[in-house]
């Protein structure tokens, strides 16, 4: 049976079996990945998957059932399992389905991505690997070189009339190069994501990883103290990712964020505008609707430093008496709906990286943080992280820096941003920032 016909058939039979309302959520997709090692393909994967999550109200309670079997014969399983599950749930756990709304135009699927043959994809990966190996004299080997394509399909149909679906795909390349000088080794990496192979420059990506690794050789610590700092776009993105949850309504409600009752308050510097844009053209996390069927939106979370909104799914929005922002997502078929970001980023400013150095004059250029999971407290905003980067004097990089620990508070850091750069970078999860100049950071060194 065709997939959408199966979804509708499950709904029809569930209503006949006593469910008062119900929904069928389909999640599927395909992925291709090639991993290279020393010029040869060390791992090759071309896979597809798909499955259905059913939920419905039975006897005043919500029950769930899941299966990867997309067959008409599986319908009795969905109904029986969801009934049994519903009877085990307390009445207050009943979930409300969404009837739908007007949805924005969405272009997320690019068939030409998949029309490039496998042989050409492998050649692109080899060109990226070769460029990384030859990108600097000190490059000894590669830690990782991978190229892939991901295709995702989502369809939600329910008994209230909701019937929405989308397909999206994108390609990505990642390379990590190891630079060596004597016994010292450093790693440099580069990531590309896009929807057009013509915009992928494998040699440029490979050389960028090599240069980053080589530039860190010969690093040493600096004296402990307070330093002005430029946080590289990739480092700042990693930090923003670690603390993104403070902007989730459900975390504020649970006391896992310090933003309770602070709407309209200036919580960041005037140069900081933070957005969550589900409709960003070509965005990694762009979607026309979330896992609850709520339409995707372009939200301004911080406007010139002022807190304008939190991010909500339908359940947390109801608690605060507001509308969902379209940020209710399932991470998988069996996962519950939780708040999650779409394209979550600090809007770029107008200065190049060199301009940030010139304005800072003397300080540190931080390019990487380590220990983000263990070294951050997402509730208090405190962080203490190993870092590496470069010493800047007179607006110029003078040498590489390692064996330092950066300590601070994310809420304070947002207020201490002096200038936002123009080099907006998006990481693999759809979160991004440009490089930023920060007034001061506490540094533990030698």
* First-last CA distance in the chain: 68
Same domain, 426 and 381: yes
Tens of pLDDT, residues 302-332: 999 999 999 999 999 999 999 999 999 998 8
CB 397 within 8 Å of CB 361: no
* 356 to 163, 345, 418, 436: CA distances (angstroms): 49, 19, 9, 8
- What local confidence, expressed as pLDDT, does residue 38 receive? 83
Residue in this structure with the two tokens 């907006």, named with its chain if needed: 424
- What is the DSSP pairing of strand 396-409 with strand 382-393? antiparallel
- What local confidence, expressed as pLDDT, does residue 39 receive? 84
- What local confidence, expressed as pLDDT, does residue 100 receive? 96
Residue in this structure with the two tokens 């992280």, named with its chain if needed: 385
Same domain, 27 and 136: yes
pTM, rounded to two decimals: 0.94
139: closest CA among 175, 165, 86? Answer: 175
- What local confidence, expressed as pLDDT, does residue 164 receive? 97
Same domain, 45 and 154: yes
Total domains in the fold of the chain: 3
Q: Is the Cα torsion angle 209, 215, 218, 221 positive or negative in sign? A: negative
Same domain, 269 and 414: no
Asked whether residue 251 is assigned to any structural domain, the reply reads no
Same domain, 304 and 402: no
Angle of the 75-87 helix axis to the 3-16 helix axis, nearest 10: 50
Token couple for 267: 């919580």
Domain stops at, among 346, 376, 407: 346
Low-confidence stretches of the chain (pLDDT < 70) are: none
How many whole angstroms separate alpha carbon 120 and alpha carbon 88?
53
Helix (H) or strand (E) holding 41: strand 40-58
How many whole angstroms separate alpha carbon 264 and alpha carbon 309?
8
Domain boundaries, position 100: 3-212
Same domain, 229 and 204: no
Same domain, 131 and 151: yes
- What local confidence, expressed as pLDDT, does residue 345 receive? 98
- What local confidence, expressed as pLDDT, does residue 297 receive? 95
The DSSP annotation for 100-165 comes to: -----------HHHHHS-HHHHHHHHHHHHHHHHTSSTTEEEEEEEEEEEEEEEEEEEETTS-EEE
How many whole angstroms separate alpha carbon 361 and alpha carbon 355?
10
Token couple for 253: 């409600």
- What local confidence, expressed as pLDDT, does residue 390 receive? 98
- What local confidence, expressed as pLDDT, does residue 11 receive? 97
- What local confidence, expressed as pLDDT, does residue 1 receive? 75
How many whole angstroms separate alpha carbon 3 and alpha carbon 24?
11
Domain stops at, among 317, 346, 375: 346
- Phi then psi for residue 127, to 5 deg, are -65, -40
Cβ contacts of residue 281 below 8 Å, gap of 6+? 107
- What local confidence, expressed as pLDDT, does residue 286 receive? 96
């Amino acid at each position: 049976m065709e997939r959408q016909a199966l979804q509708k058939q499950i709904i029809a039979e569930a209503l006949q079996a006593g469910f008062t309302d119900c929904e069928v959520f389909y999640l599927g997709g395909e992925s291709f990945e090639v991993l290279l090692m020393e010029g040869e393909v060390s791992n090759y994967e071309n896979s597809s998957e798909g499955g259905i999550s059913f939920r419905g109200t039975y006897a005043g309670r919500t029950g769930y059932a899941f299966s990867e079997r997309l067959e008409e014969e599986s319908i009795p399983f969905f109904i029986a399992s969801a009934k049994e599950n519903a009877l085990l749930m307390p009445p207050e756990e009943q979930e409300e389905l969404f009837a739908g709304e007007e949805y924005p135009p969405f272009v997320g699927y690019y068939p030409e991505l998949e029309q490039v043959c496998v042989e050409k994809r492998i050649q692109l990966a080899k060109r990226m690997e070769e460029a990384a190996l030859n990108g600097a004299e000190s490059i000894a080997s590669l830690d990782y070189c991978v190229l892939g394509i991901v295709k995702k399909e989502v369809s939600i149909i329910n008994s209230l009339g909701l019937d929405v679906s989308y397909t999206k795909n994108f390609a990505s390349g990642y390379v990590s190069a190891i630079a060596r000088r004597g016994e010292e080794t450093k790693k440099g990496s580069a990531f590309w994501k896009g929807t057009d192979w013509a915009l992928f420059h494998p040699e440029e990506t490979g050389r960028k990883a090599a240069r980053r690794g080589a530039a860190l050789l010969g690093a040493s610590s600096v004296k402990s103290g307070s330093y002005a700092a430029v946080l590289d776009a990739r480092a700042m993105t990693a930090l923003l990712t670690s603390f993104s949850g403070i902007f989730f309504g459900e975390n504020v409600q649970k006391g896992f964020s310090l933003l309770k009752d602070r709407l309209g308050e200036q919580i960041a510097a005037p140069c900081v505008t933070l957005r969550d844009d589900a409709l960003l053209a070509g965005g990694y996390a762009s979607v026309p609707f979330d896992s609850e069927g709520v339409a995707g939106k372009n939200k301004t979370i911080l406007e010139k430093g002022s807190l304008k909104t939190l991010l909500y799914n339908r359940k947390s929005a109801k608690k605060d008496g507001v509308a969902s922002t379209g940020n209710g997502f399932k991470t998988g078929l069996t996962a519950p709906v939780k708040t999650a970001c779409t394209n979550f980023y600090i809007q770029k400013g107008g200065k190049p990286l060199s301009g940030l150095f010139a304005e800072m004059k003397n300080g540190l250029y931080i390019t990487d943080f380590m220990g983000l999971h263990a070294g951050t407290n997402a509730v208090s905003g405190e962080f203490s992280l190993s870092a590496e980067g470069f010493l800047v004097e007179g607006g110029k990089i003078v040498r590489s820096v390692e064996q330092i620990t950066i300590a601070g508070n994310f809420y304070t850091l947002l207020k201490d941003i002096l200038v936002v750069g123009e080099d907006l970078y998006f990481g693999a999860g759809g979160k991004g920032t440009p490089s930023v100049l920060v007034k001061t950071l506490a540094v533990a060194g030698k």
